[in-house]
Amino acid sequence: MVDRNPVSGSGPTSATSVRDARDEAQDGQSAQVIPLRSAERGGSQRRRHAAEAVEQYGGAAVVNLPGSADVPGQRVRVEPTLPGHEAGADEAVPEAVAKALDFVRGRLTGEYDIDEFGFDPELTETMLLPALRMLYDKWFRVEVHGAENLPIGGGGLVVCNHSGTIPLDALMTMVAVHDNHPKQRHLRLLGADLLFRLPFVGMLARKTGHTLACHPDAERLLRGGELVGVFPEGYKGIGKPFSARYKLQRFGRGGFISAALRTGVPIIPCAIVGAEEIYPKLGDIKPLARLLGLPYFPVTPFFPLLGPLGAVPLPTKWHIEFGEPVRTDLEDGDAWDDPMRVLSLTDRVRESMQQLLYERLAQRGGVFGN
């Protein structure tokens, strides 16, 4: 691979220095930046040019060469298009193509890792988040407020209002957290068992890091220092009629609060404004819902009237606001065992969410813009 280096043509001494530098680089962490710098220090016009050409694509199209496989435990990645100088830099592999090829290779050979919940970060970041981001940016034009309230590291429980007939709000919140957090953390959502019973949907939910809303899973994620998202209203919230929009429904049994108390993580109230109007639910065909095993069968102004076309969500303008965190580590050790305190904390969180919702509603210009 050294012979393929454009720099090696300029003389035996510099070639050795490049080789030495590269050997050093292989021992260290950074793979191929050092030899290029040393080449630049050599001074020749030609070399500087080559260095520039490579720096331009530095860190981009990096691929494992077969020869580098004998360095175990350390991924030494080598620029395959180093000869780009003579051959013309335009032949270099574009970053996106190389990344896509690496991704496909990983998928074909099974060389990727998932966690015990089935979360596949590579797939999520490469395929699913970009798809959701289009909806997020172009369709709903989501605006995020108060992202600084999300914890930088460690566990946290994000409690959101649920609405919109189809849980698009959950997906958008996931994108909002990932794209606005300085560390690009993934929000691990807790979903109903219906979600995991459905084919494809359940599979994708697991792969994007979501899991069943149950005590063991919630606590396990929080203890593992993950950012967990819950929608305590459940079906009551997402399937509420349009007339009840932005009115928080009863929270479940407050299990999520006791999970946060047990693990001592902060609770971040979150208000999602705009999701209520994407499918204004006017009615509910109960017999059909029972037949299909769904919690409700919605009737909106366009669905099922227009068929599949009616299933396109209305392009409302969304705001997602993260409120002041509520600390739970100040309570004493067995607060989770005291139902009174769990319930009062639940009410406190619920009130602050309702407050956030009303404030945000008062500030927004219209349903579809600003």
Partner 1 sequence: MPSNIVLVTGVSGELGGKLLARLGNNPDFERVIGVDTSPPPKRIIARMGNAEFVRADIRNPLIAKIISAAKVDTVVHASTTAHPPGPARRTPVKEMNVIGTMRLLAACQRSPLVRKLVVKSTAAVYGASARSPAVFTEDSPLMAVSPKGFASDAVEMEGYVRGLQRRRPDITVTVARFTSMIGPEVDTVTTRYFAMPVVPTVLGYDARMQLVHSSDALSVLELATVREKPGVFNVGGDGVLALSQAVRLAGRAELPLPMPALPSVSRLLRGANLVDFSRDQLKLLNFGRVVDTNLLKREFGYAPRWSTREAFEDYVQGRALRPVIDGRSLSALLRKVALPSTNEHVPSQ
Sites of contact with partner 1 (CB under 8 A): 1, 4, 65-67, 80-83, 87, 91, 93, 97, 101, 104-105, 107-110, 112-118, 120, 193-194, 196-200, 202-203, 206-207, 211-212, 214-217, 220
CA distances from 282 to 23, 55, 212, 288, 301 (A): 69, 58, 29, 15, 7
Smallest separation (angstroms) from partner 1 to the CB of 260 = 17
Q: How far is the CB of 112 from partner 1 (least distance, A)?
A: 7
CB 254 within 8 A of CB 248: no
- Min dist CB 34 to partner 1, Å, is 21
Contact assessment for residue 35 and residue 18, using Cβ atoms and an 8 Å cutoff: yes
- The answer for residues whose C-beta is within 8 angstroms of residue 81's C-beta and 6 or more apart is 57, 61, 87, 91, 92, 93
Rounded to the nearest whole angstrom, what is the least distance from the CB of residue 85 to partner 1 in the complex?
A: 12
Residue closer to partner 1, measured from CB, 52 or 217: 217
Min CB(31)–partner 1 separation in Å: 17
Please give the Cα distance from 263 to 327 (Å, whole number). Answer: 11
Query: Nearer to partner 1 by C-beta: 224 or 310?
Result: 224
Find residue 271's DSSP bridge partners: 321
Q: Which is nearer to partner 1, 2 or 285 (CB)?
A: 2
CB-nearer residue toward partner 1: 168 or 213 = 213
Structure tokens at 140: 């709903």
**Chain centroid offset of residue 325 CA:** 21
The C-alpha atoms of residue 138 and residue 141 are separated, in whole angstroms, by 6
CB closer to partner 1, 202 vs 325: 202
